[in-house]
Structure 1
Amino acid sequence: MFESLSRSWEFAKLSYGLMWENKHLILFPVISTVSAALVFASFALPLWQSGQIEEWQAFMDGDPAAREDSAFYLVAFAFYFCNYFVILFFNTALVACALKIINGDAAPVSYGLSFAVKRLPQILSWALLSAVVGVILKMIERMNEKVGVFISSILGLAWTALAYFVVPVIVVDGEGAVGAIKKSTKILKENWGTALSGNFSLGLIGFLIMLPVFLILFLVLSSVAGTFSSFGLTAVIGVGILAIVLISAFISAADSVFKAYLYAYATGKTIPRNVDTSSFDSAFVQK
């Protein structure tokens, strides 16, 4: 247990350390979140105006009582495609900056955005493949209320694992969707083993970072609930939500940075001298 916690701290130092020294990288997940919200709104508003928003929500939630409509699958495909495109575009920009910083160079936000634009064909192909997979999983989920959800969840987890290195592959090698998933899978199998271990500690560290924010927000709201005006309470809640969003963006960016580090090491790319690569050797179980 203590060895695992030690590795967790080592991983956290790499990713969070780079983020702390390059705070401008937090802009990528922030812009990505705002863009994804706009994508959601662009689909939700027309459905709301047409009176189909509740049916659409039930359909997307896997409610077996929801109406089966081929048009909903088309809308789901379009939504998945747009959403995955936005997320991948800014993740590509972030990983491009992270890899450049790892190599010892400066990487402003403009560099990441311009690099992502250069990778538009690859980003579009991956968004297309991801949307197809998303719709297929949705179809499986709706086949049976319990079995379908279980199978869809398992396949979804497997797909997520196989796609772990897709963004770094797109950034470094310029591979399209099929080539990216093949190389991502190959790296996992040949270099790191077939099973991801529980040694990815970013989620745990992120939770520990976020926990005090929730506690502070809870304590503040509990102590001032009866004394503040509605405007004051709204302001406190607004500040709390803003803090949560920013910290979530920081954690999300750190996760992408960690993947960049891991990919660089797995493929023999340059790693800074001050990085203890022995920690990576135990990140996965070698075959």
Structure 2
Amino acid sequence: MASKYRRGFDITRDSLRVFTREPSLLLLPALSFLAVGSAFAVLAAILFQQGLVESVVTNDLYKYGALFCAIAISSSVATFFNAAVVHCAAQLFEGNSTSVRDGLAAAWRARRQIAVWAVVAATLGTVLYILDEKFGVVGSLTRAVFNLAWALLTYFIVPVIVLDQRRKLRDQLRRSGSLFRETWGESVSATLGVSFIFLLVALPGVALGVAGYFILDGVLAVGALVGGGGIVVTAIVGSQTASAIVRTALYRYATTGEQVGPFDGRDPDTVFPEN
């Protein structure tokens, strides 16, 4: 078991090392969080200004509309910046130089596909939420199963949008699903490894936040909340970056057979062996 965790740490470390050639690229996931936060702040300000907060709580139409907007905003912004990370990682795997501007330009070229993807994700997310809310256990089970299937089907959706440059969503989904079937063991194992490592990083931040909210007072409480929040945000930023790099490397392996980035010199088929 310890060896599996060690491999997860190694993959995470090697993923982040990809950007040591261009440390400024770590700005991309940070910009993603700033953009999402700003967008949600604007949305909240509009709700308060128009006096719609109570309606969102009590009226299903407003509630579902707000949920759709929230998912669309978070999905579009996160996908946009993940697309930039994927492009930059792919360039570094090729031995080319790249930059934040280069990544953002590549994501901007795919803006239409990203927008379509965000609308589809928001629509499905809202529908599944309604099913969960209206149909009890059956709805919850349906939502859980579909969320898992959707996550697996769309595992490579960002690399496909950016690197495969397929225009139609149906073709993108087919390509992503096909690539995942070819690398499902490596994909799941690597993703779980990265997620586990950053969960460990985030736990002290969560503990600080809980202490600041329930136990401490005054300046100590504020400091704990700010510090804990900073640790959690850092963990999320790091997880997003490492995951995008891992998926780009696996995309390269699935399409060309080359082992690059975190899989350079490591057989992806035995990333997480049973023994």
Q: TM-score, normalised on structure 2? A: 0.82
Aligned residues: CA RMSD: 3.3
Q: Structure 1 residues 234, 197: CA separation in 2 closer, same or farther (over 3 Å shift)?
A: closer
Corresponding position: 1:111 with 2:102:
yes
Structure 1 residue ranges without an equivalent (≥5): 58-65
* Letter matched to residue 195 of structure 2: G
How far off its partner does 1:202 sit? 0.5
| Alignment map for 1:53-202 (pairs within 5 Å) | 53-57=53-57, 67-69=59-61, 71-176=62-167, 177-189=169-181, 191-193=182-184, 197-198=188-189, 200-202=192-194
Structure 2 contact 69–122 (Cα < 8 Å) conserved: yes
How far off its partner does 1:136 sit? 2.0
Structure 1 contact 100–106 (Cα < 8 Å) conserved: yes
| Alignment map for 1:228-267 (pairs within 5 Å) | 230-231=218-219, 234-235=222-223, 237-267=225-255
How far off its partner does 1:148 sit? 1.2
How far off its partner does 1:163 sit? 0.6
Aligned residues: 269
How far off its partner does 1:178 sit? 2.1
Q: Structure 1 residues 179, 202: CA separation in 2 closer, same or farther (over 3 Å shift)?
A: same
Structure 2 counterpart SS, 1:201: helix
Q: Structure 1 residues 235, 264: CA separation in 2 closer, same or farther (over 3 Å shift)?
A: same
Structure 2 contact 12–194 (Cα < 8 Å) conserved: yes
How far off its partner does 1:243 sit? 3.9
* Letter matched to residue 150 of structure 1: L
Cα distance per residue 1:31-58 (max 9 Å; x no partner): 111211222223222323344324525x
In structure 2, C-alpha distance between the alignment counterparts of 1:49 and 1:231, rounded to whole Å: 31
Structure 2 counterpart SS, 1:146: helix
* Letter matched to residue 210 of structure 1: A
Structure 2 contact 67–126 (Cα < 8 Å) conserved: yes
Structure 1 contact 122–174 (Cα < 8 Å) conserved: no
* Letter matched to residue 26 of structure 2: I
Structure 2 contact 15–242 (Cα < 8 Å) conserved: yes
In structure 2, C-alpha distance between the alignment counterparts of 1:231 and 1:18, rounded to whole Å: 39
Structure 1 contact 197–284 (Cα < 8 Å) conserved: no
Q: Structure 1 residues 251, 20: CA separation in 2 closer, same or farther (over 3 Å shift)?
A: farther
**Which structure would you say has the larger Rg?**
1
> More displaced, 204-213 or 175-184?
204-213
Structure 1 contact 103–271 (Cα < 8 Å) conserved: no
Q: Which residue of 2 aligns with 1:62?
A: none
* Letter matched to residue 255 of structure 2: T
Q: Structure 1 residues 78, 5: CA separation in 2 closer, same or farther (over 3 Å shift)?
A: closer
In structure 2, C-alpha distance between the alignment counterparts of 1:248 and 1:195, rounded to whole Å: 22
Structure 2 contact 252–259 (Cα < 8 Å) conserved: yes
In structure 1, C-alpha distance between the alignment counterparts of 2:225 and 2:60, rounded to whole Å: 39
* Letter matched to residue 161 of structure 2: I
Corresponding position: 1:204 with 2:196:
yes
Q: Structure 1 residues 212, 272: CA separation in 2 closer, same or farther (over 3 Å shift)?
A: same
In structure 2, C-alpha distance between the alignment counterparts of 1:137 and 1:195, rounded to whole Å: 28
Structure 1 contact 81–128 (Cα < 8 Å) conserved: yes
Which segments of structure 1 move beyond 6 Å, counting only runs of 4 or more?
none
Structure 2 residue ranges without an equivalent (≥5): none
